[in-house]
Amino acid sequence: MVKKIDAAGLHYTPLNRQVREAVAAGEDEIVIEHVLGQRFIADGLVGEVTLVVNGVPGGDIGMFMRGPTVVVHGNADHAPGNTMEAGRLVIHGSAGDAVAHSMRGGMVFVRDDIGYRGGIHMKAYNARHPYLVVGGEARAFLGEYMAGGTILLLRRGSKEPFAERGLASGIHGGEIFVRGEVDDGCLAVGAVKKSFGDEERAGIRPLIEEYCRHFGCDAAPLLADDYTRIGPASARPFAGKYTWE
């Protein structure tokens, strides 16, 4: 059954309360109409439910979320998927800065572009592995301090090498795949290029296919293209920085 919530003129707290009540009542799909800048949608939400957000949500959508699928028909503001534990966030548009900040599980798909610091400090643990898939461009400091997980940057429509600075600075876990070439000058301290072979190609295949399923595009050319794989030079980037008193 589909539960509809009209968010017109509604503050985020009563909106989230309605969402929580609907989830508690056993609804498996909730459609929120007329969303306009409400922050924290699905903040800390737990459960197996699908939220369809029609409009433009404010910051931190899906923060601390564990389980739900949130589909945004519109752009998202900053930090969607912030410290998210599990679930899916699918954004039909672009998103702001710090997308998937400190995310530790689940998947975030952004159809178009993201801002600065995407995937910053993402981390994996045991079965928890966060994925960030971006269809368009990302700005500087992508994957900074990354401690685990996977970032896939498809750069659809771009032919020039990726040239945003501070890429993966301080990375000590996880992997970043960028379609096409990456300018060496972008790689920040601790980040190195690694080989991209059949195994890696097979690894990102499901991500590309799911991206194309969500946004209705042809997977074949994206699957055929080459990617630059970036990872940490060490899991202990600061091991050699200190001496004892």
Partner 1 sequence: MVLGSVPVKYRVTIDRDRCMECGRCIENCPYGTFRWEGDKITAVSRNCTACHRCIAMCPRDAIGLEERPVDYRSHPVWTVEAREAIFNQARTGRVILAGMGNAQPLPSIFDRLLLDACQVTNPSIDPLREPMELRTYIGKKPKRLEFSRTGAGDVELETKLTPNLMLETPIMIGHMSYGAISLNAQLALARAVHKTGTFMGTGEGGMHPNLYPYQDRLIVQVASGRFGVGIDYLERGAAIEIKIGQGAKPGIGGHLPGEKVCADVSCTRMIPLGSDAISPAPHHDIYSIEDLAQLVRSLKEATEWKKPVFVKIAAVHNAAAIAAGIARSGADAVVVDGFRGGTGAAPKVFRDHVGIPIEAAVSAVDAKLRDQGVRNEISVIASGGIRNSADVTKAIALGADAIYIGTAALVAMGCRVCGNCYRGLCPWGIATQRPDLVARLDPEKEAVHVANLIEAWTLEVSELMGAAGINAIESLRGNRDRLRGYMLDEGMLEVLDVLPAGA
Residue count (the chain): 245
Distance, CA of 161 to CA of 158 (rounded, Å)? 8
- Toward partner 1, which CB reaches closer, 140 or 217? 140
Element (H, E) at 199: helix 198-215
User: CB-wise, 45 or 178, nearer to partner 1?
Assistant: 45
- Verify binding: residue 139, partner 1, rule CB under 8 A: no
Contact between 243 and partner 1 by CB under 8 A: the answer reads: yes
Q: Minimum CB separation from partner 1 for residue 22, in Å?
A: 15
Site for partner 1 in 4-23 (CB under 8 A): 12-13, 16-17, 20
Among 31, 46, 217, 219, interactor with partner 1 by CB under 8 A: 46
* One of 3, 92, 104, 214 touching partner 1 (CB under 8 A): 104
Q: What SS3 string covers 37-99? A: CCCCCCCCCECCCEEEEEEECCCCCCCCCEEEEEEEECCCCCCCCCCCCEEEEEECCCCCCCC
Q: Check residue 124 for interaction with partner 1 (CB under 8 A).
A: yes
Listed in sequence order, the residues at least 6 apart from 190 whose beta carbon sits closer than 8 Å to its beta carbon are 168, 169, 170, 171, 172, 232, 233, 234, 237
93 belongs to the binding site for partner 1 (CB under 8 A): no
**What's the min distance (Å) between Cβ of 56 and partner 1?**
16
Nearest in space to 205 (alpha carbons), one of 142, 133, 118: 133
By CB under 8 A, name the binding residues for partner 1. Answer: 12-13, 16-17, 20, 39-40, 43-44, 46, 59-60, 63-66, 78-79, 82-83, 85, 98, 101-102, 104, 117, 120-121, 123-125, 128, 144-145, 147-148, 170, 172-173, 235-245
